[in-house]
Amino acid sequence: MLTLATSVLIVSYNTRELLVATLAALDREPDVQVVVVDNASSDGSPDAVGDRFPRVRLIRSERNLGFAAGVNRAAREASGDVLLLLNPDALLPPEGLRRLVDFLACHERAAAVGAALTYGDDRPQDSAFRFPGLAQLLLDLFPIRRLARSRLNGRVHTSDAPVRVDHPLGACMAIRRAAWVDVGPLDEGYFMYVEEVDWCRRARRRGWEVWHEPRAVAVHHGGMATRQRADAMYVQLWRSRLRYYQRFHGPGYNRAVRALVRLGMAAERRRAVRGGAAPGRLRAIAQVRRLSG
């Protein structure tokens, strides 16, 4: 029995087999409410959910709402004191779910807590972060391999004990209902990416804490929906990053951000041309360059 009533919110787009596996794991928790918003999938995902998991509250969207709007739609149907945002390509075992819920039950100022993540082959995946700044932006645009998982790149090094962070990865993040009401829903100005960073920043501004719980471990295959439209999602990633900086930093800071992105896209285009990239990739890079002004 979970210490707090919990609703799991899943937004799905053409990830049928992984979604079914995720729901099968959750089906072992009869007291958990599961809400799935299907973003107009064409792979039979909604029918698979409807046929195999009658307890799931299934919402069939006629169009792709994006992640933030999909989560908000699911949250309006949720009844739990805890809202677990879970990607359809993430598998959270029952003991991991209990760890997250118990943590919120014991830490009343915790707005959210994220799980540790691994890839399907058990390699660790970065899942605890500081808010992005110019150093992280620079390392995204001009990668240095030895610094990829460093504190300079916003990574929080964890051990076996829970640690306060700025934000977890939204693939598996439990949010206290009271904090959701206080902070507000996800910003639907983000179609994909960065929406959980934005929410955690707003939560921190209102005095809430955000944590990482390394004893709750989820397998996150990562990018299974977004890689279906990789070039379009590349543009969405940078659109969201630029939106985030615009919302939380001043004009001078944003001039620096946009100058770095323009330089980064010029370098990315040179690498893409040398590597024989497809025209779609070159168009995506050009679009990001235009977004950066």
Q: Do residue 262 and residue 140 come from a single domain?
A: no
pTM comes to: 0.95
Q: Do residue 147 and residue 43 come from a single domain?
A: yes
Q: Do residue 122 and residue 235 come from a single domain?
A: no
Confidence of residue 1 (pLDDT cuts 50, 70, 90): low
Within-domain flag for 155 = yes
Q: Do residue 215 and residue 249 come from a single domain?
A: no
* Tens-digit pLDDT profile for residues 202-255: 999 999 999 999 999 999 987 655 566 789 999 999 999 999 999 999 999 999
pLDDT at 23 over 60: yes
Within-domain flag for 1 = no
Within-domain flag for 178 = yes
Domain boundary among 225, 255, 276: 225
Q: Do residue 94 and residue 176 come from a single domain?
A: yes
* Tens-digit pLDDT profile for residues 158-190: 888 999 999 999 999 999 999 999 999 999 999
Domain boundary among 225, 244, 275: 225
Residues in contact with 204: Cβ distance below 8 Å, sequence separation at least 6, in sequence order:
166, 210
Q: Do residue 83 and residue 196 come from a single domain?
A: yes
**CATH code of 176's domain:** 3.90.550.10
Q: What is the pLDDT of residue 230?
A: 87
Q: Do residue 286 and residue 199 come from a single domain?
A: no
Q: Do residue 219 and residue 127 come from a single domain?
A: yes
Q: What is the pLDDT of residue 159?
A: 82
277's tokens: 């990239």
Q: Are 83 and 180 in contact (CB under 8 A)?
A: yes
* Tens-digit pLDDT profile for residues 46-65: 999 999 999 999 999 999 99
Q: Do residue 41 and residue 131 come from a single domain?
A: yes
Q: What is the pLDDT of residue 229?
A: 78
Q: Do residue 147 and residue 258 come from a single domain?
A: no
Within-domain flag for 209 = yes
Burial class (CB within 10 angstroms; exposed 0-12, middle 13-18, buried 19+) of 106:
exposed
Q: Do residue 210 and residue 233 come from a single domain?
A: no
Tell me how many domains the chain contains.
2
| Coil vs helix vs strand at 35 | strand
Q: Do residue 190 and residue 246 come from a single domain?
A: no
Residues in contact with 183: Cβ distance below 8 Å, sequence separation at least 6, in sequence order:
111, 199, 202, 203, 206, 208
Domain that holds residue 270: 227-291
Within-domain flag for 231 = yes
